[in-house]
């Protein structure tokens, strides 16, 4: 795509056509400046086929706000809309509406409250609450969903991989097989969710991180084609990067060529006063090969160099590798804990595309409209009860029990504060008569989750740094019940409604059915 | 991401760190301007879990070339690289290498040959062949893979969905759940592969297509919350868009509310001299509901308005819907063929993310290096025979049989021309002694597939328009054997080597094993 087209395709027209036709309809009906509220939430955790997440890691907000701050209708966007024709050949968009878009088609009139990035989040909980003129709030939908759905998906996957790797160093390597330029948002989300570094140079630069990486098979092939072989390639690498020498050992034969050559070069390096960094395994049985590599490196006097694993890794593959190492390493005289502690994971495609669950099902739903100064809750009833909206203005609370573990997220009406309640009733979101009651003495803390982040066209909160988001994520994951953290078949975290919100929802459903 | 960061993250540093460390190593060893050849190819068709593609549709090249034409090391990129430090705190990149990058770090010195976009392509066939100075060709790898892997993945999925929908109108709706800004490349690829239009406004503008879309549930909800109900919403829509009236009928109850209200509004429209466009179904049993909708619309005198289906569609879901309609429609007095011909498919997430197969496994491999003016073939042997490279300079040919069907893609050495051979030997790429021989009289046509597209820093071919790519795709798909086109468990298309290429490969493997 050429640069001029990019500005068009990624600016305020990064949206679906129906947002514009609906906006014009609201304009025509005099409803465009009617105040409305939309909630952004997802309906279910990513399901990877054989396994499913038990929590998500919230991500994407800052880049959405960056986009909102810069998005506006340029003259050429207006002219393009003016040129669009209906079936009859008449223009779709009328001049007065286009004038209004040019004047008022920015996001300055909206207010956003949101759960901060890095926080652990759950289905059906509003992660962003948008209030503002109906037509403008509607115009934000597509881009908001695009920005938030993908980053939350990837931060979630990264957190799972980080957990399965027991917190050992995790590198994001997915740029080459990512879904186009989404790669950059994906790498950022991976860094929030659990990756320590990424190989993506430009994105690292933009975020202030050092990028990571060493060499590919092609470098070894070049030296082979020129008659200098794998050993020549390794020596060249050690000469140029004596203090960052990490060698890919599987181009020819891992155990019979790559490792012996790497050890020889490591010994040469050490004689010159440099300590090698490690080796990388990118094919074959990574559990078996890492045990054999550890054994050879230990015997050669390199018990501490890293063993980097790559090649189609994800949380289940890493879990299986570790499980196999724990069982098999002792019979080769290798201490499994010592080996597991020197492993580094390079994770590419399956992280950056969230393989198996390539999208988060986040939605942006109208929940209230103002009518004569009063907010009227809006509802959409679905034949699937779980898809029926939680209407109106809401607060979001997280309740922690006496163990310090999060026990539920609670949606309340705007004027409710469970901190002031003697006993808190937590109603199941869809099942009649299913609830539990917690006395305040059973509750260690009730935490409000939404923060105002955008007002009058600019960011009004101190947005957290990536490091702060990671600290939130780490703390939130540790405050989950171990069953909820489980990689496969996790326990269900409770998302509940207060009694009054439950009653309002039922009343609206009854009205609608009448 | 802020605009200044975007320019950094999407420019020439849209790459992996190891491309830069390898480039410096080549520079230091005096190898950076050694001529080299890399082939881009994928190893296997996308496998969606329960089904797998039998062919791919090539896409992404033009946007890659656009990127190459604009990518260069800006001063701030150089300064960023200068600031990167190794473990010891020393700079990773030395001043002389950075000077070389600033002077020579563009893609002007490369030559690219490629199979045009829109062509049907197969595994292990080079889709792009890159020749040029080693360090520069290496620097292209990541971005080339990112651009081509994703668009080919999506064009392939779109072609499958187009086929399963029997060529009926197909709309791409996936922007909101796409993987970030990859959405635009995905929408373009969908348009090449089989989608007729997309809802993505900016991308449509950039490509000169009209975007498509009507209204969402939220519009109906607004009117409901304001006491005017679904009928009020539909009337408003018909008033503003009398000649483009397509109504979403499932906000409350499809058969008992949405359809009766839509029919009422259609009748009002017709009395005013306008013909309605159709209805959209976005939930529930789409096969059952489309039969009932057709019945109601037929009886009301609207037998020709479109019935748009959306909600988690993909090629298998569409196939099942059509199969069910064929079986069930007659018992409701609805002609199945007539109904199938009025269906329109709005396909979102499962197309734009290629659900089930979220990445194409395309690779970029060194296949030859120049040594004293002679090209030396390079090989990488894998423990998996299928992953062993096809070395050296090659031509790609497509052979058509007397039925006009493509019977094989043939990789030959650079100086071979199968059009000049009396009999063409097609050797299996990995199995010894497995080959077939075709006499020229069995072959209707032998088509060379690679075209030179880039030389001296600019595009040197007439790149096809999207319409031309679509025509190529359509023609190529029709020239596939029906077994290869099958949606589930397709027959395997032959990709073969000439005898001389096979012999070269075996000789190189023998040399390496010695």
The 3-class SS string of A271-289 reads: HCCCCCCEEEECCCCHHHH
Domain that holds residue B302: 213-344
pLDDT over 90 (residue A387): no
- Pull the structure tokens for residue B192: 């090449």
Helix, strand or coil, per DSSP, at residue A128? strand
Sign of the dihedral through C-alpha A382, B284, A41, A139: negative
User: What is the domain count for chain B?
Assistant: 1
B405 vs B402: CA distance, rounded Å: 7
Tokens 């789409």 belong to which residue?
A: B286
Q: Tens of pLDDT along B418-427?
A: 999 999 999 9
Q: Is B375 helix (H, G, I), strand (E, B) or coil?
A: strand
Nearest to B369 among A226, A354, A355 (CB): A226
Angle formed at CA B173 by CA B293 and CA B487, multiple of 5 degrees: 80
Look at residue B19 and tell me if it is in a domain. no
Does residue A400 have a pLDDT over 80? yes
Residues B59 and B362: beta-carbon distance below 8 Å: no
- Burial tier of A112 (Cβ tally within 10 Å: 0-12, 13-18, 19+): buried
Residues 6+ apart with CB under 8 A from B127: B40, B41, B42, B58, B114, B115, B121, B148, B152, B362
> Which member of B88, B141, B179 has the closest CB to residue A182?
B179
* A429 in any annotated domain: no
In a domain, A469, yes or no: no
Q: Which of A336, A352, A368 delimits the end of a domain?
A: A352
The single residue listed with the structure tokens 């600016």 is A11
Instruction: Give the span between the Cα atoms of B3 and B6, in whole angstroms.
Output: 5
Q: Is the pLDDT of residue A263 over 70?
A: yes
Given A20, A24, A206, which is nearest B5 (Cβ)?
A206
A195 and A314 assigned to the same domain: yes
d(CA A23, CA A19): 6
CB-based burial label for B505 (10 Å; 0-12, 13-18, 19+): buried
Mapped onto helix, strand or coil, the DSSP state of residue B370 is strand
Mutate to test the interface with B, among A134, A180, A370 (most CBs of B within 10 A): A180
Cβ burial of A105 (10 Å; 0-12, 13-18, 19+) is buried
Q: A96 and A191 in one domain?
A: no
First to last CA, chain A: 52
Cβ–Cβ < 8 Å for B171, B210: no
Q: Pick A88's closest partner by Cβ from B15, B67, B243.
A: B243
CA distance B229 to B227: 6
Q: Tell me: do A96 and A177 sit in the same domain.
A: no
- Given an 8 Å threshold on Cβ–Cβ distance, is B244 in contact with A87? yes
Measured CA distances, A17 to A90, A97, A386 (Å): 17, 15, 28
| CATH number for the domain that contains residue B309 | 3.20.20.70
HSE-CB of A358 using CA atoms within 13 angstroms: 25
Task: State the nearest Cα–Cα gap between B267 and chain A, in angstroms.
Answer: 19
Q: From the CA of A411, how many Å to the nearest CA of chain B?
A: 21
Q: Is residue B162 part of a domain?
A: no
Listed range (A4-8, A162-166, A196-200) with the worst mean pLDDT: A4-8
Same domain, A230 and A98: no
pLDDT averaged over every residue in chain A: 96
d(CA B347, CA B108): 40
Report whether B159 contacts B173 (CB < 8 A): no
Distance (Å, rounded) from C-alpha A473 to C-alpha A192? Answer: 8
Please report the pLDDT score of residue A508 as a whole number. Answer: 87
Residue A235 makes CB contacts below 8 A (sequence gap 6+) with A265, A268
Alpha-carbon distance of A443 to B246, in angstroms, equals 52
Amino acid A383: pLDDT: 65
- Regarding whether A217 and A77 lie in a shared domain, the answer is no
Contact A112, A451 (CB under 8 A): no
Q: Quick one: closest CA in A to B312, which residue?
A: A361
Contacts of B362 in chain A (CB under 8 A): 177
In this complex, how many residue pairs, one in chain A and one in chain B, have their CB atoms less than 8 Å apart? 380
Closest chain B residue to the Cα of A28, Cα to Cα: B240
Q: How far apart are CA B200 and CA A433, in angstroms?
A: 44
Q: What residue in A sits closest to B364 (Cα-Cα)? A: A218
- Model confidence pLDDT, tens digit, residues A447-491: 999 999 999 999 999 999 999 999 999 999 999 999 999 999 999
Task: Give chain B's length.
Answer: 514
Closest residue, chain A, to B276 (C-alpha):
A87
Residue B282 has what pLDDT? 95
Final residue in a domain of this structure, among A286, A318, A352: A352
Task: Let me know whether A179 and A304 are in one domain.
Answer: yes
Query: Which residues from chain A sit within 8 angstroms of residue B16, using beta carbons?
Result: 173, 175-176, 199-201, 211, 213
CA distance B402 to chain A (A): 39
CB B343 within 8 A of CB B305: no
What number of other Cβ atoms are within 10 A of residue B205's Cβ? Answer: 23
Chain B contacts of A24, Cβ < 8 Å?
Answer: 240
Tell me how far the alpha carbon of residue B283 is from its chain's centroid: 28
Could you tell me the pLDDT band of residue A514, with boundaries at 50, 70 and 90?
Answer: confident
Is B18–A199 a contact, with Cβ atoms under 8 angstroms apart?
yes
Work out the minimum CA distance from A423 to partner chain B, whole angstroms: 33
User: How many beta carbons lie within 10 A of that of residue A88, not counting itself?
Assistant: 10
- Nearest CA distance, B389 vs chain A (angstrom): 11
Residues in A touching B377 (Cβ below 8 Å): 225
Say whether A252 and B512 touch across the interface (CB within 8 A): yes
Domain membership of residue A399 (yes or no) is no
Shortest Cα distance, chain A CAs vs residue B446, angstroms: 33
- Which of B14, B174, B179 to probe the A interface (max A CBs under 10 A)? B179
CB–CB contact B18 A176 (8 Å): no
Ordered per-residue pLDDT tens for chain B, 514 residues: 998 899 999 999 999 999 999 999 999 999 999 999 999 999 999 999 989 999 999 999 999 999 999 999 999 999 999 999 988 999 999 999 999 999 999 999 999 999 999 999 999 999 999 999 999 999 999 999 999 999 999 999 999 999 999 999 999 999 999 999 999 999 999 999 999 999 999 999 999 999 999 899 999 999 998 999 999 999 999 999 999 999 999 999 999 999 999 999 999 999 999 999 999 999 999 999 999 999 999 999 999 999 999 999 999 999 999 999 999 999 999 999 999 999 999 999 999 999 999 999 999 999 999 988 888 888 777 666 777 778 888 999 999 999 999 999 999 999 999 999 999 999 999 999 999 999 999 999 999 999 999 999 999 999 999 999 999 999 999 999 999 999 999 999 999 999 999 999 999 888 877 7
Buried b (16+ CB within 10 A) or exposed e, A401-435: beeeebbbbbbbbeebebeebeebbbbebeeeeee
Look at residue B383 in the predicted model and tell me its pLDDT: 64
Q: How far is B398 from chain A (nearest CA, A)?
A: 27
- pLDDT recorded at residue B390: 83
Give how far A143 is from chain B: nearest CA, Å.
Answer: 7
A175 falls within a domain:
yes
Enter the DSSP assignment of A346: E
Q: Give the pLDDT confidence score for residue B83 in this predicted structure.
A: 97
Where is B409: in which H helix or E strand?
strand B406-413
Look at residue B451 and tell me if it is in a domain. no
Mean pLDDT of A283-290: 96
Distance (Å) from the alpha carbon of A165 to chain B's nearest alpha carbon: 23
The DSSP element (H or E) to which B38 belongs, if any, is: strand B35-42
The ipTM assigned to this model is 0.97
**Residues of chain A with C-beta less than 8 angstroms from the C-beta of B289:** none
Contact A22 B134 (CB under 8 A): no
Q: Does one domain contain both A329 and A202?
A: yes
**CA proximity to B378, closest of B200, B508, B491, B191:** B508
In chain B, which residues have their Cβ closer than 8 Å to the Cβ of A80?
A: 205
Q: Specify whether the CB–CB gap between B345 and B171 falls below 8 A.
A: yes
Cα(A21)–Cα(A462) distance, integer angstroms: 36
Is there a domain that residue A238 lies in? yes
Chain B interface disruption, residue of A16, A82, A354, A392, most B CBs within 10 A:
A16
Lookup result for tokens 């109504």: B247
pLDDT in tens, A403-434: 999 999 999 999 999 999 999 999 999 999 99
Give me the residue from B210, B240, B362 closest to A24, CB to CB: B240
């Amino acid at each position: 795509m050429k640069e001029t087209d990019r500005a068009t395709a990624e600016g305020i027209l990064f949206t679906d056509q129906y947002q514009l036709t609906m906006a014009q309809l609201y304009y025509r009906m005099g409803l465009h400046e009617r105040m409305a509220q939309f909630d952004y939430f997802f309906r279910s955790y990513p399901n990877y086929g054989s396994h499913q997440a038990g929590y998500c890691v919230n991500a994407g907000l800052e880049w959405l706000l960056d986009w909102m701050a810069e998005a506006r209708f340029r003259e050429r966007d207006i002219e393009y809309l003016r040129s669009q024709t209906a079936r009859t050949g008449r223009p779709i968009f009328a001049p007065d509406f286009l004038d209004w878009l040019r004047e008022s088609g920015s996001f300055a009139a909206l207010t956003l409250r949101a759960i901060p990035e890095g926080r652990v989040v759950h289905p059906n909980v509003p992660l962003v609450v948008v209030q503002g003129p109906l037509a403008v709030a509607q115009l934000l939908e597509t881009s908001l969903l695009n920005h938030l759905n993908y980053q939350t998906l990837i931060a979630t996957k990264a957190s799972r991989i980080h957990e399965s790797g027991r917190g050992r160093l995790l590198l994001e390597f997915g740029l080459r097989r990512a879904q186009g330029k989404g790669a950059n948002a994906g790498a950022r989300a991976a860094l929030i969710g659990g990756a320590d570094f990424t190989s993506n140079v430009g994105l690292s630069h933009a975020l202030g991180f050092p990028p990571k990486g060493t060499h590919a098979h092609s470098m070894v092939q070049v030296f082979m084609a020129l008659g200098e072989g794998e050993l020549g390639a390794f020596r060249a690498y050690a000469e140029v990067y004596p203090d960052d020498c990490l060698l890919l050992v599987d181009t020819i034969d891992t155990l019979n060529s790559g490792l012996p050559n790497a050890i020889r070069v490591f010994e040469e390096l050490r004689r010159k006063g440099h300590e090698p960094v490690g080796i990388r395994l990118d094919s074959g049985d990574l559990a078996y090969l890492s045990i054999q590599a550890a054994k050879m490196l230990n015997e050669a006097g390199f018990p501490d160099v890293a063993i980097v694993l790559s090649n189609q890794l994800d949380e289940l593959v890493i879990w299986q590798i570790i499980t196999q190492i724990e069982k098999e390493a002792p019979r080769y005289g290798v201490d499994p804990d010592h080996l597991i502690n020197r492993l580094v994971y390079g994770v590419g495609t399956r992280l950056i595309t969230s393989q198996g669950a390539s999208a988060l099902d986040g939605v942006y739903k109208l929940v209230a409209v103002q009518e004569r100064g009063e907010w009227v809750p809006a509802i959409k009833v679905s034949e699937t009860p779980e898809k029926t909206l939680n209407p109106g203005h809401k607060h979001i609370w997280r309740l922690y029990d006496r163990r310090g573990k999060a026990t539920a997220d609670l949606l309340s009406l705007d004027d409710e504060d469970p901190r002031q309640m003697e006993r808190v009733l937590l109603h199941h979101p869809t099942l009649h008569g299913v609830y539990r009651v917690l006395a305040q003495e059973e509750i260690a803390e009730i935490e409000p989750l939404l923060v105002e982040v955008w007002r009058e066209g600019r960011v009004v909160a101190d947005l957290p740094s990536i490091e702060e988001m990671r600290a939130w994520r780490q703390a939130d994951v540790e405050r989950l019940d171990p069953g909820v953290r489980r990689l496969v078949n996790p326990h269900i975290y409770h998302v509940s409604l207060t009694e009054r919100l439950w009653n309002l929802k039922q009343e609206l459903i009854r009205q609608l059915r009448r």
